[in-house]
Amino acid sequence: MNATHKPGVGYVTIWVYLLILVAAGVAVLGAPVSKTVAVVLIFGVAVVKATLVIRHYMHVRQQPLMIYAMLTIPVLLAIAMTLALLPDIGLRP
Amino acid sequence: MSAMSVTEGVHATSRDFARQPLGKVGVWWFLASEIMVFGGLMGSYILSRIAAGGWAAERAHVNTRLAVINTLVLLTSSLTIVEAHAAVDADQRSRVRTFLLATVLLGCMFLGIKAFEYSHEIENGLTPASGLFWSFYYTMTGLHGLHVLIGIIINFSLFVAAGGRNFSRIQHRVEYAGLYWHFVDVVWIFLFPLLYLA
């Protein structure tokens, strides 16, 4: 048996959480909050959903540290690229 | 238990990078490169959207209801493929085939809904040439849809292979296909709020 995998450990439960989070993300659209708060909530929910899939369905928790590095570095680079260009492109008057 | 066997036991765990199957490392490398592809696109979209003042008028034309349904379809397909992986580990060939087929059908449903959405938008004159928002919309959802299509082909080939004699040969491949499919799901998890909610 594959050591990274424990069959039947709460996959359906994670799926239910994901469905609830989809509903929560959509519900933010009708919530009486400012646009900025709504955007933060919507993307906060998206990050939680992605984390659930990556941790529990992709079994990243059981992977070596090198795999974490392989995945984290491009994410940081993509964020850094966006932030570096923000003053010149996004916030140009 | 001797010290030697304890050491061997520790090295046999999947947290040792040097003992990872090459195919699995290859899939993780591929996914890392894909993060840069989609990360670059999403970063460019966010910058352009901020510069353009939000694209509220354009965003009002996308069909959020269909996107919610598609999100539920793709999340459910992530459940079915991880169940296929669990069935591989349990050596349950018929369950592997059932869950792989379910994943294929859910992937087809996702593409069918997306095609329906595209057809309505194009009928209303909203094409990639209609503005920067629509260029990004079609590029990002189109590239994602292409990844879904490739995933469907991989999963269907594994479904067929799982019915053959060499079931043991495809066991690792189901895990690799699952990693790819979950990645496609994670990309959609971010495309959905970027294009339909925020």
What are the extents of the domains in chain A? 1-62, 64-93
Please check whether residue B8 lies inside any domain of the structure. Answer: no
Chain B positions touching A53 (Cβ under 8 A) are: 75, 78, 182, 185-186, 189
Please check whether residue B76 lies inside any domain of the structure. Answer: yes
Please check whether residue B7 lies inside any domain of the structure. Answer: no
Q: Check CB contact of A30 with chain B, cutoff 8 Å.
A: no
Q: Check CB contact of B35 with chain A, cutoff 8 Å.
A: yes
Q: Which residue of A has its CA nearest to B15?
A: A64
Q: How many CB atoms lie within 10 A of CB B82?
A: 26
The span from the CA of B79 to the CA of B85, in Å, is 10
Q: Check CB contact of A71 with chain B, cutoff 8 Å.
A: yes
Could you tell me the pLDDT band of residue A17, with boundaries at 50, 70 and 90? very high
Q: Which residue of B has its CA nearest to A72?
A: B32
Range of the domain at B69: 21-197
Q: Report pLDDT for A76.
A: 95
Could you tell me the pLDDT band of residue A9, with boundaries at 50, 70 and 90? low
The DSSP 8-state label assigned to residue A20 in this structure reads H
- For chain B, the C-alpha Rg in angstroms (whole number) is 20
State the average pLDDT over residues B151-158. 97
Mean pLDDT of all residues belonging to chain B: 89
Q: Report pLDDT for B2.
A: 37
Has residue A87 got a pLDDT over 60? Answer: yes
Chain A positions touching B183 (Cβ under 8 A) are: 58
Q: Report pLDDT for B32.
A: 95
The DSSP 8-state label assigned to residue B194 in this structure reads I
State the average pLDDT over residues B157-181. 90
The span from the CA of B149 to the CA of B165, in Å, is 26
Please check whether residue B44 lies inside any domain of the structure. Answer: yes
Please check whether residue B15 lies inside any domain of the structure. Answer: no
Q: Check CB contact of A3 with chain B, cutoff 8 Å.
A: yes
Could you tell me the pLDDT band of residue B4, with boundaries at 50, 70 and 90? very low
Could you tell me the pLDDT band of residue B114, with boundaries at 50, 70 and 90? very high
Give A1's Cβ-side CA count (13 Å radius): 11
Q: Report pLDDT for B27.
A: 94
pLDDT tens-digit profile of A41-57? 999 999 999 999 999 99
More confident: B77 or A9: B77
pLDDT tens-digit profile of B61-112? 999 999 999 999 999 999 999 999 999 988 889 999 999 999 999 999 999 9
In B53-131, alpha helices (H): 56-59, 64-89, 93-123
- For chain A, the C-alpha Rg in angstroms (whole number) is 18
Close Cβ partners of B152 (under 8 Å, ≥ 6 residues apart): B104, B107, B108, B111
pLDDT tens-digit profile of B24-60? 899 999 999 999 999 999 999 999 999 988 788 888 8
* Domain of residue B46, CATH code: 1.20.120.80
Structural tokens at position B151: 């995933």
Q: Check CB contact of A64 with chain B, cutoff 8 Å.
A: yes
Q: Using the beta-carbon criterion (under 8 Å), do B86 and A5 form an inter-chain contact?
A: yes
Please check whether residue B82 lies inside any domain of the structure. Answer: yes
Tally helices (H) and strands (E) across chain A.
3, 0
Q: Using the beta-carbon criterion (under 8 Å), do B89 and A7 form an inter-chain contact?
A: yes
The span from the CA of B80 to the CA of B150, in Å, is 17
Q: Check CB contact of B92 with chain A, cutoff 8 Å.
A: no
What separation, in Å, do the N-terminal and C-terminal C-alpha atoms of chain A show?
59
Minimum distance, in Å, between the CA of residue B194 and any CA atom of chain A: 8
Chain A positions touching B65 (Cβ under 8 A) are: none
Has residue B10 got a pLDDT over 50? Answer: no
Q: Using the beta-carbon criterion (under 8 Å), do B51 and A82 form an inter-chain contact?
A: no
Minimum distance, in Å, between the CA of residue B109 and any CA atom of chain A: 18
Q: Report pLDDT for B9.
A: 34
Q: What is A27-68 written as a DSSP string?
A: HGGGSS--HHHHHHHHHHHHHHHHHHIIIIIS-GGGS-HHHH
Confidence (pTM):
0.89
Q: Using the beta-carbon criterion (under 8 Å), do B28 and A12 form an inter-chain contact?
A: no
Has residue B1 got a pLDDT over 60? Answer: no
**Number of structural domains chain B divides into:** 1
